[in-house]
Structures are given as C-alpha cells and as structure tokens.
Structure 1
Amino acid sequence: MAGHSRECQWRIQIMKLSTTINFFTYEDDGSYSAYYYDLEHYAKLGFSHLDSIFCSADAPFSPLWTNRYEDWAHKIRKKADELGITFVQTHVPFYNFCDPKKGVNENTEEIVRRSIVCTNILGAHWTVSHPGTAYADSLIVDGSKKQNLEYFSRNLEFAKKNDVGICIENMADFSGQGFKRSYCATVEELADLVDTLHKTYDNVGICWDFGHANLVYSNQVPCLNYLGSRIKVTHVHDNMGLEDEHRAPFLGNVKWDKIMPALARCGYEGNFSFEVKRLAADVPEHIKDAYWKYMKTTGEYLLSMAK
C-alpha cells in the first residue's frame, strides 16, 4: 500500500499544470485578429507550461500562410525560453475531412503541416487533432475508421519526420448541433483507431478531453482505466453534461474527486492542461489576473487530488 502511495505521489510530481494560449482569435464582430498574447503575463501568473492553439491558424491573416512562418515560431520560442516557459502540447486545425461534400481540404492541410513544424520549433512533443465522422456512409463506424486511418497515416508520417506525435481527441455526440453520432465518442472506437495506427506509427496517442467525455459518460473512471497509457495529453474543462461549454473545473458536474485519483492510477505522465478559453474570453479585462490566479489555484488543488 505504501508503495502504491509513493507511485501516485511521483505521478503528481511529473504531472504539470498548463493552459492554452491562442495566437489567433476572433473579434466580437466575427472578424479575425492575430495577436501575441503577452507571454510575460502568463509567466507572472505562474503558468510555466503552455498549450499553443493553432485551430484558427488557417485564417487569411495568419503568419502560417507566409514563407516566414518558421521565423515567427522561432521568435515565440526564444521569448518563451527567456521567460522559462515550456510549450508542452499544441492543437492543429480540424474539420470533418470525412464529409464527402468537402473532402480533404488541401489549404487547411497545408496549415496543419505547418502547425506541426511550428510544434517542433516551439519544443512540444505532442499535437492534438480531431477524428472525422463519415455521416454519409451506411456503416458509419467502419467507414469512419477507414477514412481516419488514411488521414492520420499521412499526417503521422509527416509528424514523425518533425519529431512530433499526434494525439487523437475523444469526441462527443454534441447535443447543441443536433444529435449526431460522432466517431471516437466511445473509448472502444478511440482505442481501436489508435491501436491500429500504432502498429505502424509509434508517435500516436490519445488526448483525453474531460469535457467531451462528460457529454458521453456519467463516470469517466472506467474510461481512464481502459485507455491507460494510451493517454498522452489532456484537455481540462467542465460542463453540465448537455453542452460543450468549456467551463472552469467545479463549475459543472464533472466528478473530479473520482477522476483525479484514477488519472494517477492509470499511469498518466503528461500535462494537466486547461482548455477553458471560451469562459476566459468573457472575463472583463480588469479582473482577468484574478481569474487566472483562481484557475492556477484550482489546477493545483486538482493535482493534489491525484493520489
């Protein structure tokens, strides 16, 4: 028993608290704007580990469209190094590449590849991507698996050449978009896809999104036990089990008291990364510091529960 306790304490020590940073964003009027969020601000608030979001990096203004995008990433890395900040994971742009009306978008795929290159430059080992769902296929699961294997095989090959791994994120049957079956909303489908890819590519893993899982499972502990060491990164947020709200932990009904010990027991060694960007975006500027200090305290408390 004492040995198990020491093992859990070790897991807590290596599990680092991180949060998302978005270098691309929408304005209130729906237009795009690009900005360098003040890395010094994050450092001052005590966040030394960050998750860079490239999800909107295919916008027209994006520096990733220019031939100097690598220089752009090197400048960010240099500033981060000066501040003692480490980029621990990223998130590439996503869309439903299984949609027969749209298919694989080569413009977006170019930005996906450039995001992977930038991931390597920033020093992160993992980037996150969403699986697609073949809604038009009469056998949704079989059709989805086939197309996802083709899609991720190409990107995993490219990522491997750049010393980056791809984590496939668990999905949910989002009620806000009308009920639609989403491939990889179940742990069985996600594990099957990743295990099949892993036969050829050792740089594939799983991103466990606690908010998405809360829309599918009332108890996530069996999911964590089932997936085990396949989980390489996390997305940490909360909701009430109805919509993908990206609330701060404890502002929804995710059972963190059950999840945190299970996360330690399943051998998770990655980062505990907040993805509460929607709620944070609505916080008035003059209280954002207090909000993020609250978030850091919340994260530290959650990590203390992982035993």
Structure 2
Amino acid sequence: MRLATMTNLFRDQRGLDTHIGYIESMRRCKAAGFDTLDLNMCAMFPGKTEFNREDWRAQADKIREEAEKLGIVFSQSHPPYRPSKFPHFKTKEEEDYFDEITRRSIIISGMLGVKWAVMHPVTACENAEYSLEEDIASNHEVFASVIELAAKENVGIAFENMADRDNKRRFGATVSELKSLVDSFGDAKMGVCWDIGHGNRMYMDSVRPIKEMGEYIKALHVDDNHGGNDEHLVPFLGSINWEGVMKALKEIGYEGDFVYEIKLNDYMPDALKDSAAKFAAEIGRYLVSMC
C-alpha cells in the first residue's frame, strides 16, 4: 500500500478565488513526501482548472511529462461529480457541459495512467424515493456511456460510498447498496472507493463496513471526522478508530493505495502549506506501516 494524496492538497488559496495549478501542486506534493497522487478534477465544474481550456489534451501531456520527471504516479482520479439527486440539471446546456467535462476527465485519467476513477452514485427522486430498483436504473442511465469510455481508456470505475445529509437519504451510503450497484453492471473493472470519513458518519463502527465490503474496495478516500459533518481532517484529529481501520484493510487484502482527501491546506496561508503537508505525510506513513 502506497501513501498518496489528492492534488487539491495545494489547490486553494486563502482569500482568493483562484486555484494553484496542477504542476505546482505536484511539485509541492512530491517535496512533502508524496510519490503517488490522485488527480482531483472536481474544480472542472466551476471552470477553474487547466482542463477547462481548449488545449486540455496538451495540458494533460504537460502534467504527464512533469510527473515522469518527478517520479510521480497517478493511481486514482476524482472526476467532477454530479449533484446527488437525479434528475438534477436546470438546463440541457448545463447537462451537456457536465457530460463534456466528465468525458474529458476520463480521457485525461487514461492519458495519465490512472487505475481507478472515483464517481459519486446518484439518487433517484423523480418517480420513487428510496427504491433500490429506481436508484440502480438511474445510475445505469447516467454512467453507461462513462463506463464504456473508461473501458476504452483502460480506467476502472469505483463508486464512492455516500453519506446521508440534511435529513435525506443518499443512494450508495450503505454496503448493500454499493454491492448491488457494482454487481448490476457485471464488470470486473468496477468496484468501490471506500471513503473512510463517510463511513464514520454512517456507521457507529467504522471498521465493520470495511470488512463487509471486502474485496469490492478498490480505492480509498482517507480522512477523519467526529461522526457528524464531513470535516476531511487529518487522521487522529477526529473519532475514527484508525488502528482498527488499518487492521481491517489488511484483513480484506486491500491492494490499492492510501489516498488522502483532506482539507488541511484549504484555508492555510501559503507560507504554512508545505510544512502542514509534511505533517500529514508523516501521519500517513505511520498508518501505512501498520499494513
């Protein structure tokens, strides 16, 4: 298991509505101790990445070349995610735009050698709420073309476990729902990204669902919280039983990477970002050593 982090560890700038680019983020992640990365492309939706430009393929080539120079591997990616409810877009133009950036994100994932692209499942709400059949049918409608493209690009699709919020259920928040969704596609290049923080919000015991999910888990989002809000804390700053989590991952034979999805640097002054990232890497190495 390799320690990894999302590229957005160095994305946001305190007090500014602009983002640090991928290449600078990669260099700083490498300097902090991360050789493996998750290419976070969620900021494509508000149009704040290099991949929103017309020359997005050339931008991906530059990132690939820089990764080779730095000795960095991209093992996961996080394409832009749809609003959780389905249907959800206000206009056809908005939906077409989202479909285009999703298509780009999958192609870019393939160009950079990503093994697993993580997608958020959607929740059906037009014909029936809390219906497994409706939810699975909606996800097939949304993701059929994405999965077909991903197969051509040699990228696996991992559905992320969700967490209920605002007193509303979200499909994919439970082990049984995710297993049913993955099984419904009958594709070996599909699996689950287990978000440990989401699991802590949904389950009183964050270890048990990992064991129940077992070999379905192909990717991880690693972060801590206190069981309520999605805080995206560094491990050991929340209430998660990390010793138990690491033991469970070892028991199920998890073969992927240990990928941070933390907000440590989101509001940090730039002068403190690098030392904060090194602190996070030290904690990550401690945890990975347990496996």
TM-score, with length taken from structure 2 = 0.91
User: What residue in structure 1 maps to residue 101 of structure 2?
Assistant: 111
Distance 1:124 1:167 in 2: 12
Change (3 A) 1:149 1:243: same
Distance 1:61 1:281 in 2: 15
User: What residue in structure 2 maps to residue 74 of structure 1?
Assistant: 61
Which protein, 1 or 2, shows the higher relative CO under an 8 Å CA cutoff with sep ≥ 6?
Answer: 2
Q: Does 1:257 align with 2:247?
A: no
Among residues 153, 159, 164, which one is paired with 2:155 in the alignment?
Answer: 164
User: What residue in structure 2 maps to residue 293 of structure 1?
Assistant: 278
Deviation at 1:101, TM superposition (A): 4.8
Letter in 1 for 2:275: A
Residues 171 and 184 of structure 1 are in contact (CA less than 8 Å); yes or no, is this contact kept in structure 2?
A: yes
Question: Larger deviation: 236-245 or 117-126?
Answer: 117-126
Q: Does 1:151 align with 2:142?
A: yes
Letter in 2 for 1:267: G
Deviation at 1:67, TM superposition (A): 3.5
Deviation at 1:249, TM superposition (A): 0.4
* Equivalent runs, 1:95-106 vs 2, <5 Å: 95-96=82-83, 98-102=85-89, 105-106=95-96
Identity within the alignment, %: 37
| SS of equivalent residue, structure 2 residue 264 | helix
Question: Larger deviation: 202-211 or 92-101?
Answer: 92-101
Letter in 2 for 1:152: F
User: What residue in structure 1 maps to residue 114 of structure 2?
Assistant: 124
User: What residue in structure 2 maps to residue 243 of structure 1?
Assistant: 229
Distance 1:293 1:100 in 2: 42
User: What residue in structure 1 maps to residue 289 of structure 2?
Assistant: 304
| SS of equivalent residue, structure 2 residue 101 | helix
Q: C-alpha offsets along residues 205-261 of structure 1, whole Å, 9 cap, x if unaligned?
A: 110000001100121322122211111110000000010010110000011111101
Q: C-alpha offsets along residues 73-104 of structure 1, whole Å, 9 cap, x if unaligned?
A: 01011011111111111000011364335278
What value does the CA root-mean-square deviation take over the aligned residues?
2.1
Change (3 A) 1:281 1:139: closer
Residues 264 and 276 of structure 2 are in contact (CA less than 8 Å); yes or no, is this contact kept in structure 1?
A: no
Q: Does 1:214 align with 2:200?
A: yes
User: What residue in structure 2 maps to residue 173 of structure 1?
Assistant: 164
Question: Larger deviation: 215-224 or 230-239?
Answer: 215-224
Letter in 1 for 2:41: F
Distance 1:23 1:274 in 2: 9
Letter in 1 for 2:157: I
Residue segments in structure 2 that go unaligned for 5+ positions in a row:
none
Distance 2:268 2:10 in 1: 18
Change (3 A) 1:101 1:122: closer
| SS of equivalent residue, structure 2 residue 170 | coil
Q: Does 1:91 align with 2:82?
A: no
